[in-house]
């Protein structure tokens, strides 16, 4: 993740976030605007450092920080937020990109089913912890942004509180779909709460040939691969949402390939969005934001 300068970005090292962050310094250089300090917030430090080295190689002079972030641990998320605040006064853009998808049931440190906990509840907590820096960026520049990486998988998702802590039978793909539906509902609920100058956006990057498929049997991955897109291509939309003036006043949208995308009936349910937001604030231990 990263801040100060023009934009800042946060991402979890699970689904091609490196390409999103990689492109940002080059975008600043191409447009003639100020460059961002990009912070790679990753669970896998070796991959993060490799990504940093590649960014610097491709963009000489790029400013890239690497910080450890494990979205399956609230303690780790709090520590990351503290470390980031010590390094950067403000956060201009936050990209929440987590896509854990284990075939066998796993749990976070706090006992939440991993996909719900790491893909949704961890970014929910992180976003709230970084709001002071995001608000400061909005006050100073009039344009700070939060980007949530969702998925078309949300269309088959449903919010089932019995699955939050694994009290019902684990089904991997429905669990993933639920986490991405929750990302999208959070985006909509957040848009009703943020101050002027701070916007929130959700995106479906496309089917990405990334580590999210690492647990699939090799023949299945081989069959799917022709239909997947590269991480570099998938990252462009996240970069656009974080940087382009086009999206400055379009808070609350859900986009695919730079276009607004239809959402499921469940995702559009305002009462359900509000209920999930309130429960998530309790689960994450944060003060809920008031609707404007």
The beta-carbon contacts of 281-286 under 8 Å, at least 24 apart in sequence, are 281/128, 283/112, 283/121, 283/164, 284/74, 284/121, 284/124, 284/125, 284/128, 285/74, 285/125, 286/124, 286/125, 286/128, 286/129
The pair of structure tokens assigned to 98 is 């987590």
Partners of 68 in the β-ladder: 42
Residue among 189, 199, 188 at smallest CA distance from 141:
199
62 Cβ neighbours under 8 A, 6+ residues apart: 25, 35, 38, 55, 56
Terminal-residue alpha carbon distance, the chain: 28
8-state DSSP, 262: -
Question: CB count, 10 Å around CB of 167?
Answer: 10
Q: For residue 95, give the H/E element and its range.
A: strand 93-96
CA distances (Å), 102 to each of 107, 119, 209, 240, in order? 10, 12, 16, 29
8-state DSSP, 197: T
The pair of structure tokens assigned to 181 is 């539906």
Question: Catalytic annotation on 176?
Answer: yes
Active site residue: 120, 170, 176, 247, which one?
Answer: 176
What positions carry a catalytic annotation?
176
């Amino acid at each position: 993740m990263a801040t100060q300068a023009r934009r800042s970005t946060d991402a979890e090292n699970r689904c091609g976030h490196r390409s999103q962050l990689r492109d940002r310094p080059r975008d600043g250089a191409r447009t003639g605007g100020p460059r961002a300090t990009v912070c790679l917030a990753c669970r896998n430090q070796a991959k993060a450092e490799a990504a940093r080295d590649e960014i610097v190689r491709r963009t000489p002079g790029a400013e890239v920080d690497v910080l450890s972030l494990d979205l399956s641990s609230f303690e780790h998320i709090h520590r990351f937020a503290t470390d980031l605040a010590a390094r950067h006064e403000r956060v201009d853009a936050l990209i929440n990109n987590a896509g854990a998808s284990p075939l066998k049931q796993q749990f976070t440190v706090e006992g939440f089913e991993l996909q719900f906990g790491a893909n949704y509840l961890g970014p929910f907590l992180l976003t709230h912890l970084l709001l002071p820096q995001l608000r400061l960026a909005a006050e100073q520049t009039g344009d700070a942004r939060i980007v949530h990486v969702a998925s078309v998988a949300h269309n088959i998702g449903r919010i089932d509180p019995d699955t939050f802590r694994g009290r019902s039978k684990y089904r991997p793909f429905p669990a993933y779909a639920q986490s991405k539906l929750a990302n999208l509902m959070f985006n909509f609920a957040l848009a009703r709460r943020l101050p002027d100058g701070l916007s929130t956006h959700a995106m479906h990057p496309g089917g990405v040939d990334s580590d999210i498929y690492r647990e699939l049997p090799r023949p299945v991955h081989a069959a799917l691969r022709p239909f997947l897109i590269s991480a570099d291509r998938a990252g462009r939309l996240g970069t656009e949402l974080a940087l382009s003036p086009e999206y400055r006043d379009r808070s609350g949208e859900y986009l695919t390939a730079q276009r607004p995308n239809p959402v499921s009936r469940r995702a559009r349910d305002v009462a359900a969005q509000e209920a999930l937001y309130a429960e998530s604030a309790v689960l994450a231990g944060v003060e809920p934001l008031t609707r404007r």
